[in-house]
Copies of this chain bind each other. A is one copy, B any other.
Amino acid sequence: MPKEIIDRIKGGLIVSCQSEEGDPFNSPEGVTLFAKAAVIGGAAGIRSREYAKTKMIVENVNVPVIGLTKSAFPDGYVRITGSFSEVEEIIKSGCHVVAIDGTFREREGMTGPQFIQQVRERFNCLIMADISTAEEGKACADHGAHFISSTLSGYTAETKKTAGPGPDFKLVSELTKDLTLPVVAEGRVNSPVQAAQMLELGAWAVVVGTAITRPRIVTEWYVSKMKNISERH
């Protein structure tokens, strides 16, 4: 079963279907519409946040679903499924994989890799370690993660300083060279060409979110580019 899930997303697109407060799509029904559309369009998997939304998506699509919760570290940066109670909660949604923060930042009195090892001992689930550096990726692989995902590159205090506007090709390249585990490319992948490049670098699968499932933000991208021109005319 774990191997089957891992194989099913090989070479595939995972569409992240998330929504925030104030967005018209911010409901289980709203994100489930995106998940269904993505699967009809050929998505090999879905990534989803929060128990109720993830449960509804799991019940409505026939591809593996990666579940997660979000909270914040004391420094204000996002923390992905960072407590045992959150792991327990999201597993109840029926998701096939749980995404867990694999950075070295402390939660439950331990680092991400240590926490992932504990989750493997206490729960029966596939684990995707969301990391921000190659060192974190290696440590999470050594501590029992099933996948390593570049999700957090650019979203920690340390990596924010050096992150460019595009995806972190360098990190994915390092991970695929160093590790035998499946490496998932995630974070600022905003075009089909970038997604294909990630596969070329050896990524097992690619996650795309905003560019497909956040029409509000995509609209902002267009409006902001157009504003520069229209203000000159």
A212 beta carbon closer than 8 Å to chain B: yes
Question: When A42-B220, A215-B212, A223-B43 are in contact, do A37 and B13 touch as well, CB less than 8 Å?
Answer: no
A34 beta carbon closer than 8 Å to chain B: yes
Please determine whether B222 and A208 come into contact, CB atoms closer than 8 angstroms: yes
Please determine whether A192 and B221 come into contact, CB atoms closer than 8 angstroms: yes
State which size class the interface on A falls in: 35 or more
Binary per-residue interface labels of chain A (206-220) against chain B in the complex, 1 for a CB within 8 Å, 0 otherwise:
101001111111111
A227 to B10, CA, bound (A): 11
Shortest CB distance A119–B (Å)? 30
Task: Give residues 181-209 of A contacting B (CB, 8 Å).
Answer: 192-193, 195-196, 199-200, 206, 208
A30 beta carbon closer than 8 Å to chain B: yes
A220 to B192, CA, bound (A): 9
Please determine whether A229 and B215 come into contact, CB atoms closer than 8 angstroms: no
In the bound complex, residues from chain B placing their C-beta under 8 Å from that of A15 are: 215, 219
A233 beta carbon closer than 8 Å to chain B: yes
Shortest CB distance A61–B (Å)? 10
A87 beta carbon closer than 8 Å to chain B: no
Shortest CB distance A28–B (Å)? 13
Please determine whether A226 and B34 come into contact, CB atoms closer than 8 angstroms: no
A179 beta carbon closer than 8 Å to chain B: no
Stoichiometry, copies per complex: 2
The answer, among B37, B216, B220, B226, for a CB contact under 8 Å with A199, is B226
Q: Is the interface of A mostly helix, strand, loop or mixed?
A: helix
Nearest opposing residue in chain B for A200, CB measure: B229
Please determine whether B226 and A192 come into contact, CB atoms closer than 8 angstroms: yes
Please determine whether B11 and A226 come into contact, CB atoms closer than 8 angstroms: yes
Question: When A192-B225, A196-B228, A229-B199 are in contact, do A41 and B216 touch as well, CB less than 8 Å?
Answer: yes
A12 beta carbon closer than 8 Å to chain B: yes
Please determine whether A195 and B213 come into contact, CB atoms closer than 8 angstroms: no
A25 beta carbon closer than 8 Å to chain B: yes
Please determine whether A42 and B196 come into contact, CB atoms closer than 8 angstroms: no
CB within 8 Å of B: which residues of A? 10-13, 15, 22-25, 30, 33-34, 36-38, 40-43, 192-193, 195-196, 199-200, 206, 208, 211-231, 233
Given contacts A192-B226, A208-B222, could you give 20 more A-B pairs where the C-beta distance is less than 8 Å?
A11-B227, A11-B231, A12-B226, A24-B33, A24-B37, A30-B33, A34-B215, A38-B215, A38-B216, A38-B219, A41-B215, A42-B220, A42-B224, A192-B221, A195-B222, A199-B233, A200-B229, A211-B218, A212-B218, A212-B222
